[in-house]
Amino acid sequence: MKIIRPTQIQQFLLIKSSITLVALLLFNGCAISNPFVPSSTYAYNTAPVCTIPSTPITSKPMYRATMRPYTVGGVTYCPTTVAVGEKFEGTASWYGPNFHGGQTSNGEYYNMYAYTAAHKTLPINTKVKVTNLQNHLSTIVRINDRGPFVKNRIIDLSYSAAKDIGLIKSGTAHVRLEVLSFDTQANQYAHILHKKEPKLKKNPQILPLDNLYIQVASFSDEQKALLFKRKCYTLDSKHQPAIKTKKIANQTIYSVLIGKFYSILEAKNYIQHYAYNGAFIVRD
């Protein structure tokens, strides 16, 4: 059998092609700015795909953009100012591999193994302690994304944070959030709605500016009303849920109210802030 050996020219072309291919691969690799690409053999019990921590973005343009009111699914959310020690409760969920490597609302890349979370209105880079009220396990996360845009859910945790508080299997849990720290420069970009509150004209149909509440739900079953009341969450102690009863056609109706408020605009902003769709203002 005659063995055909490559000529020097063929050898040169082969080496050149190989070098070109390697250069293209290296160039493309350098062009990829997202380091969090999950492997096709991903499993929850594997080691982190990437150990590079996500670097917090603290630029003024980022705060200016993420503190503006925004609308998702027809609901407008107003990012708010915050204070250390504030506590509020609600339902937590988590997001993992389907979002791993995707860009978050503040421009970072989501790393499901980092201790981060999504919140609809807290300033980006706020650190909160999350406590699962069912098993009392807790974790600390940094807000770097917006969401979850699901009714009655207050925070979306990363996989690692959810795992710490026993949330992976159940998917959701009732939690308490406590603000530990935040970047104060975010507050200067908050959209302060109360500064734009219009003067109310004298009109007997306008409610007086005291003893105002918002009705968020009503039930004919007391137990359902109590369950819904427990799901309500607030940012401060002055706005608390309560149940008020009334008779309609010989039937007792249990209304869930939150208050009190001192202006119509304050109550409207609260409804918008917490996305209580269908809620309305009442006077007690």
Q: Where in the chain is the domain with CATH 2.40.40.10?
A: 60-191
Condensed to tens digits (0 to 9), the pLDDT of residues 110-149 reads: 889 999 999 998 999 999 999 999 999 999 999 999 999 8
Please tell me the CATH superfamily of domain 194-283, with its number.
Answer: Sporulation related repeat (3.30.70.1070)
Cβ-based neighbour number of residue 61 at 10 Å: 10
Backbone angles phi, psi at 211, to 5 degrees: 55, 40
Decide: 213 and 259 in contact? Cβ < 8 Å: yes
Buried b / exposed e over 121-133, threshold 16 CB at 10 Å, is: bbbbbbbbebbbe
pLDDT given for residue 202 in this prediction: 40
pLDDT band for 234, please (50, 70, 90 cuts): low
**What residues contact residue 75 under an 8 Å CB cut-off, 6+ apart?**
149, 272, 275, 277
Q: What mean pLDDT do residues 205-209 have?
A: 43
| Residue 283 structure tokens | 């006077």
Give phi and psi for 13, each to the nearest 5.
-65, -40
Is the bond leading into 231 cis (omega within 30 degrees of zero)? no
Q: Can you give the pLDDT at residue 229?
A: 80
Mean pLDDT value across the chain: 74
Listed in order, the ranges of the chain carrying CATH 3.30.70.1070 are 194-283
Q: Sign (positive/negative) of CA torsion 167, 173, 176, 177?
A: positive
**In CATH, what is the architecture of 60-191?**
Beta Barrel (2.40)
pTM of the model: 0.56
> How many helices (DSSP H) and strands (DSSP E) are in the chain?
5, 12
